[in-house]
Amino acid sequence: MAGPRARLHLGSERSVTQNRPRPVRAASATAGAERLGSAVVGLAPPRISWFAPVFSGGGGARLVLVRHTNENHPSAVVQLNDVRRTYGGKRTSVAALDGVTAGFGRASFTAVMGPSGSGKSTFLHCAAGLDRPTGGSVLIEGQDLGELSEVELTRLRRERVGFVFQAFNLLPALTVQDNVTLPLRLAGRRPKPALVRQVLDQVGLGERRKHLPAELSGGQQQRVAIARALVTRPAVLFADEPTGALDTHTARDVLGLLRGSVDHAGQTVVMVTHDPVAASYADRVVFLADGRLVGELPNPTAEAVAERMTHLGAWAERTATGVY
Ligand SMILES: Nc1ncnc2c1ncn2[C@@H]1O[C@H](COP(=O)(O)OP(=O)(O)OP(=O)(O)O)[C@@H](O)[C@H]1O
């Protein structure tokens, strides 16, 4: 557990009613996930509380008891323990992540938000095994990534981690079906036709499997990218601004698809986003500022997320400039 961390007090968490229908969860999809109050966190109830400075909207600091839900727990699919990532040398050192502890339970959907430069990409890269932290540990399904060689880490990423980025990164000369099955073929596995059909149907592209990416809309191409990420049945799907290149309507389709993979297939999803509406599809939002986890919001609404981000941005600016 990291030492005391600043947590932002950013207004009421439940002042705005939910602005989207939440699908009923299949019992199998939520196996292992536990409800903690109103938050689906997939973790054990918090065991440790800590005293931390809380910054009010006006910039003043006071001490309150903070209940922390992100501690180390063996049931987490992804667990970060006191993760640090420093860039640069001694004199130019930047702490992109400064002691982050967070857990992500099975069949949970978490949005990661924070001002520009707060460490979101670094967080995602370290959590997904794309980058090695300079301190602390990251576990995926209980496996400490720090204990793996590069070859082992690559294999774990290929088999247990799915990625979706803002850019769809499809191979233009391959059909939808061949793009989707590529990760399996790269891993030397023969794609099972029934599985491929199922994944393509899941993303609504069963009829388009022979098409080339250029023959699809942006939203459909992102669906192909999601199918490609899901085809290995990964333990966790990491999404980095997956709707950043899509119009509002298409973005909602894609977010609904991610939500459905959690509710109906028990997928664990961790998504970095700047968009409060996108974040409102998640079970909870965790907020980063200055490389630290500074708060979380269960059952987020777009309005509540936007309100917190406004305060967080103002606080980050005051911290950076030293003007309060
Ligand atoms: N390769 C690097 N070398 C040096 N500093 C870096 C490097 N990558 C990130 N940083 C610094 O680490 C901090 C966190 O960066 P990161 O990209 O994780 O933030 P972010 O929240 O994803 O930002 P944004 O929302 O603007 O994409 C920033 O101060 C950034 O300048």
- pLDDT score recorded for residue 54: 28
The conformation of residue 256, written as its DSSP 8-state character, comes to H
Residue with tokens 């839900």: 69
Residue nearest to atom 27 of ligand 1 (CA): 116
pLDDT digit string (tens) for 88-107? 888 889 999 999 999 999 99
* Substitution candidate for ligand 1 out of 86, 87, 90 with most atoms within 8 A of CB: 87
**Under-50 pLDDT residues of the chain:** 1-71, 324
- pLDDT score recorded for residue 74: 56
> Interface pTM (ipTM) of the complex?
0.97
- pLDDT score recorded for residue 35: 25
- pLDDT score recorded for residue 89: 82
Q: How far apart are CA 3 and CA 18, in angstroms?
A: 34
Q: How far apart are CA 141 and CA 156, in angstroms?
A: 10
Residue nearest to atom 23 of ligand 1 (CA): 117
pTM passes above 0.80:
no
Q: What is the mean pLDDT of the chain?
A: 79
Please answer whether residues 305 and 297 qualify as being in contact, where contact means their C-beta atoms are separated by less than 8 angstroms: yes
Cβ–ligand 1 distance for 117 under 6 Å, the answer yes
Maximum C-alpha span of the chain: 61
Cβ–ligand 1 distance for 86 under 6 Å, the answer no
Residue with tokens 């459909």: 220
CA distances from 45 to 35, 200, 280, 292, 302 (A): 9, 37, 23, 22, 26
Residue nearest to atom 12 of ligand 1 (CA): 96
